[in-house]
Amino acid sequence: MRRWDAARARARQVAPLLAPSVMCADWLRMGAEVRMMERGGADLLHFDVVDGHFAPNFIVGLDLIRALRSVTELPFEVHMMVREPDGVLEQFAAAGVQLVIVHPEACSDPAATILKIRELGMRAGLALSPEIPADAAASHRHLIDLVLVMTIVPGVGGQSLIPEMIPKIGAVHRALAEDATRVLIEVDGQVSRTVAPGMVRQGARVLVCGTSSIFGRAGGTRAELQGFRADLVQALGNSWPSPAEDGAGRPT
């Protein structure tokens, strides 16, 4: 867990962590792409795993995660869009995953699933789909390390950002109450250079980077990732830490 804990510490001290979404990379040269992400300053890698039931798609399997584990030392987080994921958690732990994020509506007993993730030696996160209220994570806040706020419908490509989800980030921060300085808030879904600063000001500390920010662009993954971070730092300026922290100051 040292990889994840080191990344989390950075999120409390410097500009937000950047988590490139592996599903958006060039699958024909995935190993090289991951190396470019690492050289470009990625803090961790984000994997979407979809079972075709929770969301109408199939994305990323264990074999890819296992293969890429030998390519990089970056922490791996897995966003599981999977119904009743308990039965496969052990395989992800064995594959070298540091953090698993589950949807509460996909688990018959979310607390038990979170505890199983932790018992397997991984960190645990809870994902909030657009229709799930901001306070849904509050009852589990003492068990989790991260809340993932989805700003699009999970597992469906070609969507636009749902604008109402940006203030929801701040609502999640407030719902976490005294745990808000420990539990990181991550955002996934059309996190562009235009909207990212506002997300951070609402309390986001991890940003999932996809086609709207770094992939499929002329500069290449490494340069685009570096440029995204530079633009974000410049845009935030003296507004870091975010006003959403309600006067608590920089997280410690």
Does a structural domain hold residue 252?
no
Candidate list 109, 135, 188, 231, residue with the active-site label: 188
Rg (Cα) of the chain, in Å, rounded? 17
Structural domain contains residue 83: yes
Give me the number of domains the chain comprises: 1
| 48 annotated active-site | yes
pLDDT at 70 over 80: yes
Active site residue 51: no
Q: What is the pLDDT of residue 13?
A: 60
pLDDT in tens, 113-122: 999 999 999 9
What are the two backbone dihedrals, phi and then psi, of residue 47, each rounded to the nearest 5 degrees? -115, 130
The answer to the question of residue 217 being in a domain is: yes
* CATH number of the CATH domain containing 237: 3.20.20.70
- Domain span at 157: 2-245
* 251 within some domain: no
Q: 43, 48, 51, 145: which is the annotated catalytic residue?
A: 48
**130 domain-assigned:** yes
User: pTM of the full predicted structure?
Assistant: 0.91
Cα separations in angstroms, 18 against 32, 40, 46, 54, 157: 18, 10, 9, 26, 21
In a domain, 174, yes or no: yes
Q: For residue 131, is it within any domain?
A: yes
pLDDT in tens, 90-124: 999 999 999 999 999 999 999 999 999 999 999 99
> Within a domain: residue 169?
yes
pLDDT value, residue 166: 97
pLDDT beyond 80 at 242? no
Helices (H), 153-195: 165-175
Helix (H, G, I), strand (E, B) or coil at 168: helix
Count CB atoms within 10 A of the CB of residue 223.
15
Confidence of residue 217 (pLDDT cuts 50, 70, 90): confident
